[in-house]
Amino acid sequence: METRVSRVWRVAAAFVVMSLSASMAAAQEVDPIGALLEQSQSSSPTTPSAEAIPTSPPVQAPTAPVSTSPPPAAYTPPPVYNPPAAVQAPLPYVNTPPAYTPPPYAPPAYVPARPRRPELTAPVHIDEIGKTPEAPPTPTDLSYEARMRSSFNSAQGLQGPLDGAWSLRAGGSELYDLQLVDSGSGSLEGAWRDPRRRGATDASGFIDTLSRYGGQLTIRLTPRPGADAVVITLSADANGTWSGEINERGERRSVTMRRN
């Protein structure tokens, strides 16, 4: 039993066949290739006309689409950030001592050896001037002694006329060695020593009284404990010496006092 769909497909197929037949008949009636051959035979074989040569339409370069949007603004780079320089704290002060440079080597100065001290077999008394328990003085000792003598002489110039060492003599014998101190203010002091009794422990001592009245000088001393005092009365001479008399154990003698 033929359906409606089958009939529709048959009608459509017949319509397609009829269309194809009409197209083929029209193509047989118009032959474009034959027309071209006829035109080529009638024209010159060496110089074909420009109309006979088919020309292809000119090829145009593709054009870019025209944009109607506004041009972009010029590019401006962002500002470069420069951070501020950090403030460096001052370094602490360090006191560095300079490097130690040793002094140039100098050989030690030659110091002569001091001679040996003499061996003593007995004590040296104060009156033994030429005998010393020590070795001979060195140049340093001599220089020191010279300075001491200079200082003594300077101080001596400020003293009175009686200041210094004196010797009391009777005739040709020496009775007493006197050491007087005259400060220039009027006060007098002194000590005595009896050279006639060397080595005795009581052969020296201090002067008891020493007085000066104008050009007259009186000295009073005790030669030993319990003995009578010795009185010496002197007067100044023009030549700087003193002359007078001594009263010793009731005996009076003429004496002269001179500087040592």
Going from N- to C-terminal start, the domains of the chain cover 164-259
Q: Which of 56-70, 183-197, 232-246 has the highest mean pLDDT?
A: 232-246
Residue 90: per-residue pLDDT: 76
Inter-CA distances, 193 with 132, 167, 211, Å = 20, 10, 19
Residue 92 confidence (pLDDT) above 70: yes
Residue 44 pLDDT > 50, yes or no?
no
Q: How far is CA 117 from the centre of its chain?
A: 49
> How far apart (Å, rounded) are the C-alpha atoms in residues 76 and 42?
74
Q: What is the pLDDT of residue 206?
A: 93
The pLDDT of residue 22 is 62
Q: What is the predicted pLDDT for the residue at 56?
A: 54
For the entire predicted model, the pTM comes to: 0.42
- What confidence score (pLDDT) does residue 243 get? 92
Return d(Cα 198, Cα 190) in angstroms, integer: 19
Question: Is there a contact between 260 and 166 (Cβ–Cβ < 8 Å)?
Answer: yes
For the cut 60, the answer to whether the pLDDT of residue 52 exceeds it is no
Rounded to an integer, the average pLDDT of 118-139 is: 73
Q: What is the pLDDT of residue 57?
A: 57
Q: Is pLDDT larger for residue 205 or for residue 46?
A: 205
Instruction: Please give the class, per CATH, of domain 164-259.
Output: mainly beta
- Residue 219 pLDDT > 70: yes
Least confident of 43-47, 139-143, 166-170: 43-47
- Least confident piece of the model among 53-62, 159-168, 182-191, 200-209: 53-62
Q: Percent of the chain at pLDDT above 70?
A: 68
Phi, psi of 96, rounded to the nearest 5 degrees: -100, 115
